[in-house]
Amino acid sequence: MPNLKSGTKSISIRLPVDLLEKIKVEANRRDVLYPSLIKAWLRESKRTRRMPKSGCRAVGNMFPEFTSILSKESGL
């Protein structure tokens, strides 16, 4: 049998607990699994934006969806 390779790779990332909870709430609101929502945001961001050079502000600008989720409750 040929050596079949999956088109995906499992990764592990650490997120602040409050951010993950807010992402889960948003995913529930949209009736999708939260990993699927994160992948959709990353895919859309890659398709429509340039990658930031570095820094949290650059990442926040790249992912306004995350920023908007946080700002609803934390006043960012």
67, pLDDT greater than 60: yes
- DSSP E strand boundaries for 1-76: none
Average pLDDT, stretch 7-11?
A: 89
Task: Summarize pLDDT for 38-50 with one digit per residue, the tens.
Answer: 999 988 887 887 6
| Domain residue limits, the chain | 17-74
* Of residues 13, 63, 17, the one with CA closest to residue 40: 63
Q: How confident is the model at residue 62 (pLDDT cuts 50, 70, 90)?
A: low
Amino acid at 10: S
Residue 2's pLDDT is 63
Residue 75's pLDDT is 46
Q: Which of 2-11, 32-41, 52-61, 66-75 has the weakest average pLDDT?
A: 52-61
